[in-house]
Amino acid sequence: MQPSMPRKRIQLAVELERFLASSTFQRIWQWLEAMNESVQGLSVTQGLVGAEVPVVVERVCALLGQLEGWVDEVPPLSGEQNRFGNRAFRTWYDKMSSEVPAMVVEVLSAAGEPEAWVAAELAAYLAGSFGDRTRIDYGTGHEASFLLFMYGLHVRGYVEGAPARRQLVLRVLPRYLRVTRKLQLTYLLEPAGSHGVWGLDDYSFLPFLFGSSQLCGAERTLPPGIVRDRDTVQRLAPEYLYLDAIHFILQMKRGPFSEHSPMLYDISALESWRKVNTGMLRMYRAEVWSKLPVIQHTLFGKLVPYPEEGDEGSGAREQ
């Protein structure tokens, strides 16, 4: 018997409001805050040096490496290189979506035979995190699907405790971003739900959130204004997710930083990374999780249950 698949449950504003007020969302948000705190003040090297790598983390990274390699096997269609939405993306997407279920089973089997429904739900979140096949676009809603994939690993106990959370932020997330950025560059994915020049970023949010936490306490040598120094950004991009995201933007966009990324430029005037990080948390909730056009695509099942009537946020149960 095939396990039931998670499905979309949010179509109306009132349904989104119910989700945001629920214990389900409280648990997700408390876990997100714990992820944020786990890397506070730590470069990638500091956060990972000497740390034991959970075998599931190793296998997730290997899986993402395979997906990245498939991009090289599916070159963009000629004649479509100069506009958004190269249709070769659909070929890559079809291969990814057909292979991911078995790949997730293999990942989870490192910790014993996985329950079929767990593997199926995690595969659905992972497959939904690389863009939309029809629209050939990618945005923060797809990134949120990957966040829920990682959250599902936490819920089922595959990654527990602060050291494992650091592995997710500093090892797994960068590996995922490598795949999505390669997809963006190769197939010219349209930014999904972009605010244009007045948005934080066309495609992503999490590297700015977690990356600003990494830089908390570094103001004497790396104040927020350091993002305006291209050489420093390039040199330190491998160590800090925030600077890595800025570096990618500078590779993608031409012209003065203040013109193509005015919000990030304005943020660089703040005096502390803690203020940046607090603002990022607030903005992530308001501009991603509270936006119906983004969250209406979220899948709900057993790992992330949609709240029933009367669920008014009883608090977190998973730690």
Residue 307 falls inside a structural domain: no
Residue 312 lies in a domain: no
Of 98, 161, 97, 148, residue with least CA distance to 122:
148
Query: Residue 44 forms beta bridges with which residues?
Result: none
Give the DSSP H/E element, type plus range, for residue 299.
strand 299-300
Please report whether residue 112 resides in a domain.
Answer: yes
Q: Is the pLDDT of residue 315 over 80?
A: no
Q: Tell whether the model's pLDDT for residue 216 goes beyond 80.
A: yes
pLDDT at residue 81, as a whole number: 64
- Band (234; pLDDT cuts 50, 70, 90): very high
**pLDDT band at residue 200 using 50, 70 and 90 as cut-offs:** confident
Whether pLDDT at 313 is above 70 = no
Residue 195 has pLDDT above 80, yes or no: no
Predicted local confidence at residue 317, as pLDDT: 39
Look at residue 314 and tell me whether its pLDDT is greater than 90.
no
Q: Give the number of domains in the chain.
A: 1
Residue 89 falls inside a structural domain: yes
In this prediction, residue 12 has a pLDDT band, given cuts at 50, 70 and 90, of very high
Domain assignment present for 308? no
Query: Greater confidence, 79 or 152?
Result: 152
Is 4 within a domain?
A: no
Range name among 51-55, 164-168, 197-201 with the lowest pLDDT average: 197-201
Which residues have C-beta within 8 Å of that of residue 229, sequence separation ≥ 6?
Answer: none
Is 101 a domain residue? yes
Total residue count of the chain as it appears in this document: 319
- In this predicted structure, the answer to whether residue 209 has a pLDDT above a threshold of 70 is yes
Give me the CATH number covering residue 89. Answer: 1.20.120.1150
Residue 34 covered by a domain: yes
Burial state string for 137-162 with b = 16 or more CB within 10 A and e = fewer than 16: bbbbbbbbbbbbbbbbbbbbebbeee
Mean of per-residue pLDDT scores for the chain: 93
- The average pLDDT across 253-264 equals 91
* Predicted pLDDT at 319: 34
> Residue 316 pLDDT more than 50?
no
**Of the candidate ranges 13-17, 146-150, 260-264, the one whose mean pLDDT is the lowest:** 260-264
User: Which residues span the domain enclosing 37?
Assistant: 10-300
H/E stretch holding 249: helix 241-252
Given a cut of 90, is residue 130 above it in pLDDT?
yes
Whether 310 has a pLDDT exceeding 90, the answer reads no
Question: Which pLDDT band, with edges at 50, 70 and 90, does 194 fall under?
Answer: low
The pLDDT of 203-217, averaged and rounded, is 98
